[in-house]
Amino acid sequence: MNILLMGLPGAGKGTQSELIVNDYHVKHIATGDIFRDAIKNETPLGKEAKAYTDQGNLVPDDLTNAIVRERLAQDDVKESGFMLDGYPRTLGQAQALDQNLTDLQMKIDAVIFIDVDQEVLKDRLSGRIICRNCGATYHKIYNPPKQADVCDNCGASDFYQREDDKPEKVAHRINLQMESIQPILDYYAEHGLLHKIDGDQSIENVFRSIRNILG
């Protein structure tokens, strides 16, 4: 079974990916991990990627596609199937993935998009607060201090929010990422592979929906 798992930040993709791997025993292929492995193992492609990352540059699509293909070609993936996480990020990468899978005599069985209302995502991502005194991290909604405005760890009452966690910054980031992901969703919908799941449900119900799709 070969799966693409997609979702905006805060949609619960990390939690669901763990459940999928535990239940279906597919290889979890996250692009960040395979880049680090290729660089660490000093593969030819890893050396090329390192030349870009060392200079603070983005790795170009053709090299990213090649590194993903290299991982998909390995025996453990062919035996157990895969769940791709964090790739493809562009329509061009999605098209390249199709070609690479065809060359490898593989195919995608399902593309699962965990769809969460953007206002909910904004609440999830912009709720983080940090104790200025000791650095303890809380969430205003999901993990608040036991006593309002008092740090459980040190008793201080001075909290702050990172610039990137402020609601207006989070909303802008969500909008940009949705604009980026929409063409990919449209592409897979046209191919009859896209399954949208309501991510506003409980973790258990989201996974139940995934299992209904995967069988």
Q: Is 132 a catalytic residue?
A: no
Contacts of 143 (CB under 8 A, 6+ apart): none
Measured at the CA of 83, the angle between CA 139 and CA 6, to 5 degrees, comes to: 50
pLDDT for position 206: 96
Catalytic residue among 13, 27, 71, 124: 13
Question: pLDDT by residue for the chain (215 residues), tens digit each?
Answer: 999 999 998 898 988 999 999 999 999 998 888 888 888 888 898 898 888 888 888 788 899 999 999 999 999 999 999 999 889 999 999 999 999 999 999 999 999 999 999 999 998 889 989 999 999 999 998 899 999 999 999 999 999 998 888 999 999 989 999 999 999 999 999 999 999 999 999 999 999 999 999 98
Looking up tokens 């990213």, which residue turns up?
Answer: 64
Residue 194 host element (H or E): strand 194-198
> Is 89 assigned a catalytic role?
yes
Q: Which of 50, 69, 122, 128 is catalytic?
A: 128
Catalytic residue, candidates 89, 122, 169, 196? 89
Beta bridge partner(s), residue 114: 7, 197
Beta-carbon contacts of residue 183 (< 8 Å; ≥ 6 apart): 90, 91
How high is the pLDDT of residue 52?
86
Copy the structure tokens of residue 143.
């993990």
Per the DSSP assignment, residues forming a β-bridge with 112 are: 5, 195
Residue with tokens 């980026």: 180
Of 113, 111, 151, the closest CA to residue 133 belongs to 151
Tell which residue, 35, 49, 46, has the closest CA to residue 85. 35
